[in-house]
Amino acid sequence: MYVKGVNLGNWLVLEKWMNPALFEGTTAEDEYYLPTQLSKDVYEARIRIHRSEYITERDFAYIKSVGMNAVRIPVPYFVFGDCPPFLGCVKELDKAFAWAEKYGLVILIDLHTVPGSQNGFDNGGISGVCKWAQQPESVEFTLKVLERLSERYGNRSSLWGIEIVNEPITENIWNLMDIQSRYKPEDPEMAKGSAPVTLEFLRKFYVEAYRRMRKYLPKEKVVVFHDGFELKAWKDFMREEEFKNVVLDTHLYLMTAEAEGCGRSKEDYITYVHDHYKKDIAEMQEYFPVICGEWSLFNSYACGIDTAGGQSPVNGVMATEDLLSADKKKELYRALAEAQLEAWNQGIGYFYWNYKLLLDTVNEPGWIGWDSWDFGKCAAQGWFPVEYK
């Protein structure tokens, strides 16, 4: 099966910029601090209504209708509800499996956050902190969550697989993105000692996770591991007979390409996609089936400003008007979609990031350009080539 999917990000793992109303009246920048600034009742009311409305059965019907066959669902480490004040979300995940079965979609469960954070991103759950790999009890907790997910969902017909952990950050990207100045920690004391995850640690952790997941996960379900932003570092990894049906996940964003020196024009982006994404995936596909688990049409050129690797209006960086005509924008996005889809074609498929956002580009024009993160808006406006079923 060639995977054509969307990420259901911001449903069970929050990102403030995608859904500002959830964070209204607080200064919290991430999921970790949200409950510290709201009463228990209000926090729970917000989360419950959000979860009940953001993704529902009708989204699965829609996703199927636009020719997709898969969804990647980010889940938090507190998915099982054992880390108060956070609310577990297996009920929501259970429902999603039933919806997927009805509409003929498959699910990749993606463990998107871990205690202490694996990357220091806001979407890692706690901005500016990256200490998970240094905390043996957090690592063990993570392995247990992976076992439990494998046990609970391993035999669901609509399970495609489980991804061990999303975007553990390694040294190069840690420096490139200048994590500690970009994501200021709320509590510098807690952030002290934050550091990138080593490839050495990751290799050991992935092998351990694979073994513990496979106890429950049938062989035909895939185990997915993220490349840690080092796509080519895995050629000698898991070569042994023991490892079956393992998929390599890489996340390729044009904003990262920009940070690596790619120019801000349609031609530059397309050349970069061809020379790097396409070539690199083809190269790694010799070792693992490769999936591009996150990508989008987002780029600085369409925003009309240098977004410095995706710095958003949340960070005070914003365009003031739409610089491209609707036709020009459509032409640009279509070309970037086609080039990238061709690159993913060297592997076994992709998941667009993200299926849905709640940004309002009309009443808050600073968000113009950021709407390309929203698959629904891309499909509706012909930015993404969709085959209606």
- Positions touching a second copy (CB under 8 A) are 19, 21-22, 24, 39, 41-42, 45-46, 48-50, 52-54, 56-58, 61-62, 64-65, 94-95, 98-99, 101-102, 356-363, 371, 374, 376-377, 379-382, 388-389
Question: CB of 295 within 8 A of CB of 251?
Answer: yes
What would the two tokens of residue 207 be? 């092998």
Do residues 236 and 170 lie in contact, with contact meaning Cβ atoms separated by under 8 Å? Answer: no
**CA gap 29, 23 in Å, rounded:** 8
Q: What is the DSSP letter of 80?
A: T
**For residue 276, what is the DSSP state?**
I
Q: Which residue has the tokens 């240098």?
A: 306
Q: Which CB atom, from 84 or from 382, has the smaller least distance to a second copy?
A: 382
Segment (H or E) for 380: helix 375-380
Nearer to a second copy, 111 or 379 (CB): 379
At residue 330, what is the residue type? K
User: 116 in the Ramachandran plot: left (φ > 0), alpha (ψ -120 to 50) or beta?
Assistant: left
Q: Minimum Å distance from CB 62 to a second copy?
A: 5
Cβ proximity to a second copy: between 56 and 345 the closer is 56
- Cβ atoms of 90 and 152 within 8 Å: the answer is yes
- Beta-carbon neighbour count of residue 320 at 10 Å? 10
Q: With respect to a second copy, which residue has the nearer C-beta, 41 or 200?
A: 41
Compute the least distance from the CB of residue 274 to a second copy, in Å. Answer: 30
Nearer to a second copy, 128 or 376 (CB): 376
Q: Minimal distance in Å, beta carbon 167 to a second copy?
A: 25
CA 228 vs. chain centroid, Å, equals 13
Closest approach, Cβ 226 to a second copy, in A, equals 28
| Least spacing, CB of residue 38 vs a second copy, in Å | 8
Instruction: Give the pairing of strands 246-251 and 3-7.
Output: unpaired
Please, what is the minimum distance in Å from the beta carbon of residue 23 to a second copy? 11
Please compute, for residue 389, the number of CA atoms within 13 A of its CA located in the half-sphere on the CB side.
Answer: 11
| CA torsion through residues 252, 253, 257, 259, sign | negative
Residue number, 122 or 371, with CB nearest to a second copy: 371
Minimum CB separation of residue 362 from a second copy in Å reads 5
Tally of helices (H runs) and strands (E runs) in the chain: 14, 8
Residue 277 or 384 with smaller CB distance to a second copy: 384
Nearest approach, Cβ of 370 to a second copy (angstroms)? 12
Cβ nearer to a second copy, comparing 176 with 380: 380
Q: Which is nearer to a second copy, 297 or 348 (CB)?
A: 297
Residue 51: CB atoms within 10 A of its CB come to 17
Smallest gap from residue 377 Cβ to a second copy (A): 5
345 CA to centre of own chain:
19
Residues sharing a CB contact under 8 Å with residue 119, sequence separation 6 or more, in sequence order: 130, 167, 168, 169, 179, 197
Q: Which residues of 222-243 are buried (b: 16+ CB within 10 A; e: fewer)?
A: bbbbbbbbebebbeebbeeeeb
Closest to a second copy by CB, 217 or 332:
332
Residue 216 CB neighbours (<10 A): 18
Compute the least distance from the CB of residue 126 to a second copy, in Å. 22
Q: Could you give phi then psi for residue 83, rounded to 5 degrees?
A: -135, 70
